[in-house]
């Protein structure tokens, strides 16, 4: 298990940090399961500002996406790749925990 302390204020930063850790430790063998957890979370209104990045626009977009998903359901907004034949997001949303109901 690898622990990394980093201040993340948006899902894209979280995704990039997780992907970086995965590729750093991946031995090129098949992977059955990857687990990622978050801890020491704080309210979204409390965050560390950066002198080098302006993340306010991304925070606003993330908030709108969350509001839409809360109102219309998890699959109301998807990545375009989820609409391809290989996409799984739609299919998994119809299941409980990714499994058939």
The Cβ of residue 66 has, within 10 Å, a number of other Cβ atoms equal to 13
Confidence (pLDDT) at 21:
87
Average pLDDT over residues 91-98: 71
Q: Is the alpha carbon torsion for 29, 100, 70, 40 positive or negative?
A: negative
Extract the tokens encoding 98.
């990714």
Averaged pLDDT score across all residues of the chain:
78
Tell whether the model's pLDDT for residue 4 goes beyond 70: no
Q: Can you tell me which residue has the tokens 């957890």?
A: 37
Confidence (pLDDT) at 1:
57
Residues 9-33 as b/e (b if ≥16 CB within 10 A, e otherwise) read bbeeeeeeeeeebeeeeeeeeeeee
């Amino acid at each position: 298990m690898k622990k990394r302390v980093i201040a993340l204020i948006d899902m894209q930063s979280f995704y990039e940090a997780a992907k970086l850790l995965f590729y750093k430790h991946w031995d090129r063998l098949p992977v059955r399961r990857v687990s990622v957890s978050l801890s020491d979370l704080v309210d979204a209104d409390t965050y560390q500002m950066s002198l080098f990045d302006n993340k306010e626009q991304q925070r606003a977009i993330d908030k709108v996406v969350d509001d839409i998903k809360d109102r219309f359901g998890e699959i109301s907004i998807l990545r375009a790749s989820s609409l391809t034949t290989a996409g799984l997001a739609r299919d998994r949303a119809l299941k409980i925990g990714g499994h058939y109901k």
